[in-house]
Chain A
Amino acid sequence: EIVLTQSPGTLSLSPGDRATLSCRANQSVSSSYLAWFQQKPGQAPRLLIYSASSRASGIPDRFRGSGSGTVTDFTLTISRLEPEDFAVYYCQQFLSSPWTFGQGTKVEIK
């Protein structure tokens, strides 16, 4: 099973700050099979990034995913935090079954 470890657990930042979220896998994952989601309380997850670096439809360009090839480290960067960006973020791999999610990073207002 591919285990994804996200860090940090919580990120306390202010609007306008840059957020850098990490997702590390316990074995190599092709970047084609790595996605990032945003979730707000009481809502379904929202796809932000697929194939490690491709933004989903309607996602603003302040969200950027990185990690290419077959690697263990992936990053989600939010260049300038907007008030609506404070939420929990998950990475997920769909390379092999069971598909797995990281435990999440909460981005909270400082």
Chain B
Amino acid sequence: EVQLVESGGGLVQPEGSLRLSCATSGFNFNTYWMTWVRQAPGKGLEWVANINEDGSEQNYVDSVKGRFTISRDNAKNSVYLQMTSLRVEDTAVYFCARNEPWLEFWGQGTLVSVSS
């Protein structure tokens, strides 16, 4: 069974940092691109970043470029999102998802709240 479990969310002050993790199981992790998607409270879905199978290629939405870094550890079947210089507008539930390339499998999400 394919499983994705996010962790690492929480309350952080503006300009702070947070590292999200997504632990996966049930599939050959190192053969799939992985993606982070976020959803602000009461709002729609926003694609944040993705990373290729060996971590050599990453793509980001403009609003997080230079502040967020997506990475992966294929030995640990995990993908990460390092978030720095956080802003109030980064407050959202962050989901990780497996690329098929369509996003068929999702985690349950982890909430990041940026507030003073």
The residues of A with any CB-CB pair to B shorter than 8 Å are 33, 35, 37, 39, 44-47, 50-51, 56-57, 90, 92, 94, 97-104
Known: A35-B103, A50-B100, A101-B46. 16 other contacts (CB 8 A): A44-B95, A44-B108, A44-B109, A45-B37, A45-B95, A50-B102, A56-B104, A97-B50, A97-B59, A98-B59, A98-B61, A99-B50, A100-B47, A101-B47, A102-B44, A103-B44
- The interface residues of chain B lying within 8 Å CB-to-CB of A97 are 50, 59
Q: Are A90 and B44 in contact (CB under 8 A)?
A: yes
State the CA gap A90–B45 with chains docked (Å): 8
Known: A50-B102, A94-B101, A94-B102. A99 touches B47 (CB 8 A): yes
State the CA gap A5–B56 with chains docked (Å): 32
Residues 74-95 of B at the A interface (beta carbon under 8 Å):
95
The residues of B with any CB-CB pair to A shorter than 8 Å are 35, 37, 44-47, 50, 59-62, 95, 99-104, 106-109
State the CA gap A8–B103 with chains docked (Å): 24
Q: Are A98 and B45 in contact (CB under 8 A)?
A: no
Known: A92-B45, A99-B50, A101-B47. A44 touches B107 (CB 8 A): yes
